[in-house]
Chains A and B, each alone.
Chain A
Amino acid sequence: MLTPTLPETKPIKLSVRDMAFSYGPKKILDGLSLDIHAERVTAIIGPSGCGKSTFLKCFNRIHEVAADVNVGGDIQIDGVDIYRGGIDVVDLRRRVGMVFQKPNPFPKSIYENVAFGPRLFGVKDRATLDGIVEDALRKAALWDEVKDRLKESASGMSGGQQQRLCIARALAVNPEVLLMDEPCSALDPIATSKIEDLIGELKESLTIVIVTHNMQQAARVSDYTAFFWLGKLVEMDLTERIFTTPRVQMTEDYITGRFG
């Protein structure tokens, strides 16, 4: 009932079944089931505090760094359970990259930021690193702007450039999935539209899940949209359907700004 109905040619990349998430005694997500298709952009929308970001962070288990959390149900990547399937969390995080709400480049040079990931995995050869860095920066549509100042500190860049650098940094370890947690919320409209264009290009080869507060953004960039409310999935469908003919009244009310 909550899954889209159009014939989909792309395989399921991430599959979530009956997922629950609690942080200590506090239940944040409950009874979630949905599928995310490869090489599509899936947007997660919903009011603040509905568990969107938490949901996103479950895919690369980054929340485990900060606190003791409890994840129930099943989350699979390519059919393998990421919590119990014997997956190495380090390898999982390489495969499932993340771009955060606030640009968070390392206080290092532009080059070193992008080379950070490959270096973690033992790439030492200078020529190989140079190639990876250039390729990642090109994919993030940043190469032309920074190719002459790769040695300069990343903190001297504009917010939009920093965020694209963070995308390049994530791309440098060749991920299969890119999680984006409100990647434009700290950016101006021009920088935002650059990131949105980029999302359109990246989905050619990546599965993208993006959390956003911005309805127009969800409508512009995504193929699928899932609407969350109070830790539950209300409705998920093709984006154009969610925004034109949602099946649940609450979805329509939220999208048209009647609540939330």
Chain B
Amino acid sequence: MNVAVPVFRRSRTSKVVDRLMRGVLWAIALTFVAVLILFVGAILKQGWPVLNLGFLTKMPETLDAGGGIKPQIFNSIYLVVLSLGISLPVGLGAGIYMAAYAGQGRALRFLRLCIETLAATPSIVLALFGMIVFVQAMGWSFSIRSGALTLALLNIPVITRVTEVSLLAVPRELKEASYGLGATKLQTILKVALPYAATGILTGLVLTAGRAFGESAILVFTAGTNASAQFPDFRLTVPGETLSVHLWYVTSDGTLPDAREIAAGTAAVMILVLLTLNLLVRLVDRAIRRRTR
């Protein structure tokens, strides 16, 4: 019995559509990169003339031109470090719990919903919460500790989720291999799953750090708009104005004659710090990959 075999030929339109889509996606990507370059370029161009050693190492002025941003740089880094110091163990622990210990039931789904909602909560809501709880109820007023704790609330859900997702992405074969050798659950998590998930968690951590570094609303309401006159001031009880808060404050307050320049310089410093941070993580990430994959 002979059956006519159809000739399988790729249709012309599918080729055209394929090429068209490639072009469209290229255009979108290119547009995006162009906008990004313009944006960063504009900030750096405006900020560049202001950037000099004096600007970075002088204390800010309150009424006169020519002030620096030394304490704000310190406060930004200090607050990010403190808040990560609080949120990393909590988020890591919660993420490990959700990925490995929580039963796959309704309770876990509800917990996950809560965490995702918390992650999506506008920072101004967290800011007001922090102000009511830490600044007022606890009586800590505008201080580094109020700011760090509220900032940690912003970080925890993200770190939790990133940890959970990274751990769930660990191939089952590796976990089986570990259990098969007689490893306990904890040993499997610590020796196999976490090292494998490390790059994912690290990436999430940097995104979190970047977000905390740039956060303003929360810190305006909890860490305040004043910087300590001492330097460096490690006390947790003093107000700690950060770069982004300073940027907002000098432009909205209007008492500084050189507010525009200060703002431009501050923005440029922030962009540069974030770029450095991201580059650094790329390097660390590559080093980890090379060592373990």
Contacts and interface: CB of A to CB of B under 8 A. Distances in A.
Interface stretch (A27-35, A59-67, A193-201): A59-67
A93 B174 CA distance: 15
Nearest to A104: B173
Contacts of B191: 116, 120
7 contacts: A93-B180, A94-B182, A97-B180, A98-B180, A121-B182, A153-B293, A173-B182
A117 B180 CA distance: 9
Given A102-B173, A116-B178, 13 more contacts: A62-B179, A62-B180, A65-B175, A90-B182, A90-B183, A97-B180, A98-B180, A100-B173, A104-B177, A105-B177, A117-B182, A153-B291, A153-B292
Nearest to B293: A107
B133 interface: no
B200 to A, nearest CB: 13
A253 interface: no
A94 B181 CA distance: 6
A91 B291 CA distance: 31
Interface of B: 171-184, 187, 191-192, 195-196, 291-293
A170 interface: yes
A116 B292 CA distance: 14
Contacts of B171: 104
Interface of B (DSSP majority class)? helix
A65 B192 contact: no
Contact of A104 (B176, B187, B291, B292): B176
Contacts of A116: 178, 181, 191
A106 interface: yes
Interface in A140-180: 153, 155, 166, 169-170, 173
A104 B174 CA distance: 6
Q: Pick the most buried of B174, B180, B191: most chain A CB atoms within 10 A of its CB.
A: B180
A84 to B, nearest CB: 20
A62 B293 CA distance: 25
A17 interface: no
A116 B187 CA distance: 11
Nearest to A93: B182
Contact of A120 (B172, B175, B181, B196): B181
Given A108-B292, A153-B293, A155-B293, A117 B176 contact: no
Contacts of B174: 104, 106-107
Contacts of B187: 120
Q: How large is the interface on A (under 10, 10 to 19, 20 to 34, 35 or more residues)?
A: 20 to 34
A149 to B, nearest CB: 15
A97 B192 CA distance: 18
A95 to B, nearest CB: 8
Contacts, number: 66
B60 to A, nearest CB: 49
A4 to B, nearest CB: 29
A124 to B, nearest CB: 14
B173 A170 contact: no
B292 A120 contact: no
A106 B184 contact: no
Interface in A16-44: none
Contacts of A104: 171, 173-174, 176-177
Contacts of A117: 181-182
A120 B192 contact: no
Nearest to A102: B173
Contacts of A169: 177, 181
Given A116-B191, A155-B293, A60 B196 contact: no
A57 B234 CA distance: 57
B31 to A, nearest CB: 37
Contacts of B196: 107
Contact of B181 (A66, A93, A102): A93
A62 B195 CA distance: 22
Given A107-B293, A120-B187, A155-B293, A100 B181 contact: no
A116 B181 CA distance: 8
B293 A60 contact: no
A107 B183 contact: no
B208 to A, nearest CB: 25
Contacts of B293: 107, 153, 155
Contacts of A170: 180-181
B176 A173 contact: no
A62 B173 contact: no
Nearest to B179: A65
A91 B182 contact: yes
A100 B182 contact: no
A210 to B, nearest CB: 15
Contacts of B182: 90-91, 93-94, 117, 120-121, 173
A66 to B, nearest CB: 7
